[in-house]
Amino acid sequence: MSVTVVGSIAFDAVRTPSGARERMLGGAAVHFSLAASFFDEVRVVGPVGDDFGEAEYAVLHGRGVNTDDIEHVEGGTTFFWSGVYGDNLNSRETLETDLNVFEHFEPKLSQASRAADVLFLANIVPALQLEVRRQCDRARFAALDSMDLWINIAREDLVKAIGSVDCVILNDEEVELLTGRPTVVSGAREILAMGPSAVVVKQGKYGAGIITHEGTFWLPAFPLEQVVDPTGAGDTFAGGFVGYIAAHPDAPIGLELLCRAMAYGSALASFNVEEFGTERVARLTGAEIAARVAELQRITAFTDAPVALR
């Protein structure tokens, strides 16, 4: 079995209260791939330029990610993003976005990528997400991410893309923007009505929730003493979440499996933000992930005890 992810491969420059990096490996598809690689074989589809070299491939290969479908655009330059985070990491300002080779990206999937058991459509133009979904029509589970830009300028295509997948992964502000509903529960129900069977609502440093027709599940973020760089946390979460589902090809995709998948996604995301870019996840071990999931379970569990209520 395998996971295919289509999305951006990038160099990021970030400044956070903990320091800065001038040029680090990033992009949604990269963060997703590294996280999902703990669970299944991952194929990453996305464009890079001449500046994308051995060092970057080595990070992906170091985690066993299959890079055969990375498209090298001759004479091109890799997508570049730079941003600066505020003091408490709640806010970030984009300083520069150079789409470069990503601007005219047309995903070309090999037969192997099309045969994926599980598909993740990272944040790209909704029309392309829909096109890739059609190419990967045998995937038993497909999820997508998006962003405010597409909600604002390509809503119709986005709603079609949403209708083509099993699961939508958005943050709470995006759910509100897409649906106009003031609570994530009512917003998520509206998204379920567009076709998917599950909506994951990311709440940044607070945690995440999932809403399905079966019920809901809510998980706080793993509490950290220090957060170094939030870049890629959402895609790392998605990689752990989708990867966990991919690792269970025989399990019914119901709320029980999805809850566990959320816990793995949260654990992965919490590691991601401990260091810059891909630095922490690139050298993460399965034992560390398992220990953090167990800890997350411990610090979110409570037992009720009957009390006489007056």
Binding residues for a second copy (CB under 8 A): 17, 37-40, 64, 87-89, 176, 182-186, 189, 203, 206-207, 209, 215-221, 223-227, 244, 247-248, 256, 259-260, 262-264, 285-287, 289-290, 293-294, 297, 299-310
- In this complex, which beta carbon is closest to a second copy, that of residue 23 or of residue 248? 248
The amino acid sitting at 230 is P
- In this complex, which beta carbon is closest to a second copy, that of residue 75 or of residue 286? 286
- In this complex, which beta carbon is closest to a second copy, that of residue 18 or of residue 197? 18
Instruction: Output phi, psi for 252, to 5 deg.
Output: -65, 140
Q: How far is the CB of 72 from a second copy (least distance, A)?
A: 26
- In this complex, which beta carbon is closest to a second copy, that of residue 93 or of residue 256? 256
User: Please, which residues have CB within 8 angstroms of residue 288's CB and are 6 or more apart in sequence?
Assistant: 271
The amino acid sitting at 109 is L
Q: How far is the CB of 199 from a second copy (least distance, A)?
A: 12
Q: What is the 3-state secondary structure (H, E, C) of 144-201?
A: EECCHHHHHHCHHHHHHHHHCCCEEEEEHHHHHHHHCCCCHHHHHHHHHCCCCCEEEE
Q: Please name every residue paired with 3 in a beta bridge, in sequence order, or none if there are none.
A: 42, 118
- In this complex, which beta carbon is closest to a second copy, that of residue 111 or of residue 226? 226
Q: How far is the CB of 172 from a second copy (least distance, A)?
A: 9
What are the angstrom distances between the C-alpha of 281 and each of 26, 212, 216?
12, 29, 29
Instruction: Output phi, psi for 213, to 5 deg.
Output: -65, -20
Q: How far is the CB of 45 from a second copy (least distance, A)?
A: 20
- In this complex, which beta carbon is closest to a second copy, that of residue 8 or of residue 171? 171
What are the angstrom distances between the C-alpha of 194 and each of 150, 197, 244, 278?
16, 9, 25, 34
Q: How far is the CB of 259 from a second copy (least distance, A)?
A: 4
- In this complex, which beta carbon is closest to a second copy, that of residue 144 or of residue 219? 219
Which of helix, strand or coil describes residue 206? Answer: helix
Q: How far is the CB of 208 from a second copy (least distance, A)?
A: 9
The whole-angstrom separation of Cα 17 and Cα 259 is 33
Q: How far is the CB of 236 from a second copy (least distance, A)?
A: 15
